Amino acid sequence: MKSYLKHDEWKIIEEGFHPEHNRISESVFSIGNGRMGQRANFEEHYSGDSLQGSYIAGVYYPDKTRVGWWKNGYPEYFAKVINSVNWIGINIKIAGEPLDMHVLKHQNFRRELDMKTGILSRSYVVSLSDGSELEISSRRICSIADPEIGAIEFQIKSKTFKGDVELSPYLDFDVENEDSNYDEKFWEEVIVDVNGNEGHVMAKTRKLDFTVAAAMEYAINGSTIAEYNISKKNNYVESTSTHNLEPGDMLVLNKYVGISSNMYADKKEVLLKAQEAASRAMNAGFEKLLRDHSNSWQAKWEESDITIEGDVSAQQGIRFNIFQLSQTYTGVDDRLNIGPKGFTGEKYGGSTYWDTEAYCIPFYLATADQNVARNLLIYRYKHLQKAIANAEKLGFSCGAALYPMVTMNGEECHNEWEITFEEIHRNGAIAHAIYDYIRYTGDKEYLSEYGLEVLIAISRFWAQRVNWSEDKKKYVMLGVTGPNEYENNVNNNWYSNYIAKWCMTYTMESIAYVKENHPDKFAGILQKSSFVEGEMEKWKNICDNMYFPESEEHNIYLQQEGFLDKELLPASSIPEQERPISQNWSWDRILRSCFIKQADVLQGMYFFEDHFDLETIRRNFDFYEPMTAHESSLSPCVHAIIASKLGKHDKAYEMYIRTARLDLDDYNNDTEDGCHITSMGGTWMSFVKGFAGMRIKKGMPSFDPFLPKQWKSYSFNIRFRNKLIHVSVSNQGVKIDNNSNSAIDILVYGEKTQIDSGSSVSVAMNTFESAAG
């Protein structure tokens, strides 16, 4: 855990440069606009430690996999999130010396990300070798108002320096991925050109021919009149002008970049699109671009902001999570998804994990139009045939589908057998998201349109994946990896067995619904899926006879068979210097230990809480929570929600802080690789479903809020079926405003209330004493 960043309600601030944490800062201060994103690398050259990263939505590279020993069924490639054009770059020489913070003395460094406006800024004072000083400052945006535009303002002010300053804005596609498996570069030049203060590079990926163009224009002190020295290299253009500075003089360079890809334009149009965007930006000017950008952010915040009074650190944390989620995925393009690192790093590869369904969809359901979540579901629908092909590759048949663990385009693109072949519970999360979406939106017709086909294919998979144990006289599921990836290849993971049974049950209910309500569509689905209703006989039989490991002694469900053979120790017994164990213990030792990477049995109790009484949930929580190391970013949120439900307010608060400030405080010592974007959906859940106890019950939003003792109050907005409500919680009680055009029924502490349009209700705080643990 680190705490070098300042606490502030709206801003992320680094005061004084921390080169040892530079990669972390580069991740945390990343900016993006759903279409592209950029780590907080410096504009000027920096020869110190840095992870360069500029990412374009939907553009990836199918890198050859690396495995020691190939086995049948392994994926053919590992899709890389691809480092793309360096569009921010400005080489600067001052009296011939390159401006490089790693080499030159500097002071008063400040890096600041204003989340309210989405502007990244930076400033410092640099001293040259002769002792003369200059003030450097920069601001930049990835415009969220016009997502083809990136814009930079770079200022150099002489304090005591006299002499020439060379400014060389450039565009560079000759970049690397650190994570490249074979040290290859991924970009091939298509066109480069530069003239005066304008230049462009178009390049394509060496495989799949993704084509991206970047075009730049720039002005210095508001003018484009200067003498330019231009240069071109492979995949690179640069334009240089030289300016004489006296003490007190200032140079202001504005660089405007347009970026376009063949995701959004015909290949022949890509370059033109980029050039048009650059010109559009140049014509608008920097201040106008900032204004439009800030206004767009303001609109986003109006719908999604969460306020916390009395705890700056918590306030900063939740806003940071919302900010990152909002700039990663905007929900307008059903070909895109939410990569685990978003636009903040290249690690993990692929773009879509079960994170989307389990942790992100609830956020988008409650803060955006319901089409955003629906697009995320349709994304999977479109991949159904590939999921069926994937299952066939592994030996399944008859339309059974196994969705990939990681994907870009529907194909599996990860390559550890214990993950790709065995972490099959992901299929369950995909089915559960359909249920979750319908529960939230009431859009039951989604089943007949898309959902049922997916559910049938997933249920077929489960029915083939279990086998009858003569020994147990039960159906068992062998050789799986549950959500807790600190176990591999276990038998009868309770969560996997449970969600498999649930999937089959829900599919059968959905079949009955569609059959009754949409007989025509149902006939179509039968035909398309070659489904016969007789298949359900086997499903029923499996559901009736599924094996679930339990411990009579502890009166809990067992995470998997044999779990009690482990040496059961609390995670608190792990010495501080050995954490995270993923970075300090051998893999073997981790696997044999009882320590849990992320909620597993508890993940199931979170998904299906109504299936269990409070005491059962409490016993399981009390058993597993102490052994949980939370080394997955997806863990604390679920624990926070259950702890809230159980009245364990301190635990809920602890877990909330851990997920909300995971990256800001680098809890898991891996933020240098990028931020944990998908887990930010979990942060939001831990707040709204945890502290505010929000659920959907009988088609109504339901709240059971409590106020952490560290806070004075909190508030948030919720969209529900085209209605907008505002929830505020303080010591005075719970106040809910209906900001919609029509009345809404809600539940507060189980009591149903109708709130008229424009009205509000207030309810006294329930202190939850009875449930407290």
User: How many Cα atoms are found within 13 Å in the side-chain-facing hemisphere of 193?
Assistant: 6
> Is 94 or 463 the residue whose CB approaches a copy of itself more closely?
463
Nearest distance from C-beta of residue 586 to a copy of itself, angstroms: 3
If binding is defined by CB under 8 A, does position 582 make contact with a copy of itself?
yes
> Is 619 or 697 the residue whose CB approaches a copy of itself more closely?
619
> Is 468 or 548 the residue whose CB approaches a copy of itself more closely?
468
If binding is defined by CB under 8 A, does position 467 make contact with a copy of itself?
yes
Nearest distance from C-beta of residue 413 to a copy of itself, angstroms: 11
> Is 89 strand, coil or helix?
coil
For 4, 38, 359, the CA distances from 653, given in Å and listed in that order, are 22, 32, 19
Whether 609 is catalytic is no
> Is 162 or 472 the residue whose CB approaches a copy of itself more closely?
472
- Choose one: 111-119, 283-291, 388-396, 722-730; the region binding a copy of itself (CB under 8 A): 388-396
Nearest distance from C-beta of residue 606 to a copy of itself, angstroms: 26
- Choose one: 109-117, 165-173, 417-425, 701-709; the region binding a copy of itself (CB under 8 A): 417-425
If binding is defined by CB under 8 A, does position 393 make contact with a copy of itself?
yes
CA proximity to 448, closest of 528, 386, 333:
528
If binding is defined by CB under 8 A, does position 589 make contact with a copy of itself?
yes
- Per-residue binding letters, 9-48, with a copy of itself (x by CB under 8 A): ----------------------------------------
Compute the distance between CA of residue 259 and CA of residue 195 in angstroms, rounded to an integer.
Answer: 18
Q: Which amino acid, one-letter code, is at 105?
A: K
Q: Given its phi and psi angles, is residue 504 left (phi above 0), alpha (psi -120 to 50 degrees) or beta? A: alpha
Compute the distance between CA of residue 601 and CA of residue 498 in angstroms, rounded to an integer.
Answer: 9
Q: Both ends of the chain: CA-CA distance in Å?
A: 28
Cite the beta strand spans of 675-732 per DSSP E.
695-697, 700-703, 713-720, 723-730
The residues in 553-572 that bind a copy of itself, with binding defined as CB under 8 A, are 553, 561-562, 564-568
Compute the distance between CA of residue 507 and CA of residue 499 in angstroms, rounded to an integer.
Answer: 12
Catalytic residue chosen out of the listed positions 453, 485, 625, 672? 485
How open is the CA angle 720-725-731, to the nearest 5 degrees? 130
How open is the CA angle 146-147-149, to the nearest 5 degrees? 80
Other Cβ atoms within 10 Å of 397 Cβ, number: 10
> Is 734 strand, coil or helix?
strand
Nearest distance from C-beta of residue 511 to a copy of itself, angstroms: 28
- Per-residue binding letters, 75-94, with a copy of itself (x by CB under 8 A): ---x----------------
Torsion of CA 186, 188, 193, 197, to 10 degrees: 0
**In this structure, are residues 332 and 378 in contact, taking their beta carbons and an 8 Å threshold?**
no
Residue 770: what are its φ and ψ, rounded to 5°?
A: -60, -35
If binding is defined by CB under 8 A, does position 415 make contact with a copy of itself?
yes
If binding is defined by CB under 8 A, does position 577 make contact with a copy of itself?
no
Other Cβ atoms within 10 Å of 445 Cβ, number: 14
- Per-residue binding letters, 478-517, with a copy of itself (x by CB under 8 A): xx--------xxxxx-------------------------
> Is 251 or 490 the residue whose CB approaches a copy of itself more closely?
490
> Is 594 or 675 the residue whose CB approaches a copy of itself more closely?
594
Nearest distance from C-beta of residue 598 to a copy of itself, angstroms: 17
- Choose one: 368-376, 433-441, 472-480, 509-517; the region binding a copy of itself (CB under 8 A): 472-480
Indicate the burial class of 599 (C-beta count within 10 angstroms; 0-12, 13-18, 19 or more): buried
Enter the DSSP assignment of 288: H
**In this structure, are residues 414 and 407 in contact, taking their beta carbons and an 8 Å threshold?**
no
CA proximity to 562, closest of 625, 629, 621, 478:
478
The residues in 336-355 that bind a copy of itself, with binding defined as CB under 8 A, are none
Nearest distance from C-beta of residue 622 to a copy of itself, angstroms: 17
If binding is defined by CB under 8 A, does position 548 make contact with a copy of itself?
no
The residues in 692-751 that bind a copy of itself, with binding defined as CB under 8 A, are none
Peptide bond preceding 98 in cis form (omega within 30 of 0): no
Give the position of tokens 């040892």.
20
Supply 335's token pair. Answer: 């070909």
If binding is defined by CB under 8 A, does position 592 make contact with a copy of itself?
yes
> Is 491 or 713 the residue whose CB approaches a copy of itself more closely?
491
If binding is defined by CB under 8 A, does position 626 make contact with a copy of itself?
no
Nearest distance from C-beta of residue 684 to a copy of itself, angstroms: 28
**In this structure, are residues 645 and 609 in contact, taking their beta carbons and an 8 Å threshold?**
yes
The site for a copy of itself (CB under 8 A) is made up of: 65-69, 71-74, 78, 181-182, 393-395, 414-418, 421-422, 467-472, 476, 478-479, 488-492, 553, 561-562, 564-568, 582-589, 591-592
List, by residue number, the catalytic residues: 485
